[in-house]
Amino acid sequence: MRTGFLPKVNPRHTLLAIAVALAIAACGKGAPQQQQMPPPEVGVITAKAQSVPLTQDLVGRASATRSADVRARVAGVLQRRAYIEGSDVKEGQLLFEIDPAPLRAAYNAQSANLAAAQATYANAHAAARLPARACSPRPISTTRRRPSAPAQRPYSRPRLASKRPRSISTIRA
């Protein structure tokens, strides 16, 4: 009769299992060998006593002690820069050429204003020289009186503020 939960084991089977385990263990390669690392390669230098120059690499910026900014003083479209940047510039040397069309238009407009002012001056001057017809039976019309009224003030001849430049569109040093 059985008294436990274990099944009945045949002694032959137990002996057979132990023999198989020993055979498998005997077929192995034996103890594993440790692989050794090759010796490291080393460089060798012999030290000598000698004098060596001391050098230092530094980062910095260089700036000129004297510099000048070259700019045009008139507005306009720049057509050409006639100097090389960084080179010396002499007095009278051509620096820039600016589009002459807007400058010429402004000059022509001022010339037209001058012509109109000169014509007004001539009319006022002529009207002031007309003889006064106080004794005439017919009084002077108001339209004739108005132009001569400003003639009582001293008139000066209108003039241009400056002469026309040689070239409107070039800037010289």
Q: What beta strand segments (E) does 23-140 contain?
A: 78-81, 94-98
pTM over 0.75: no
pLDDT digits (tens, 9 = 90+) for 80-125: 888 888 888 888 898 888 888 888 898 999 999 999 999 999 888 8
The pairing of strands 170-172 and 78-81 is unpaired
Domain ranges of the chain: 95-130+143-151+165-173
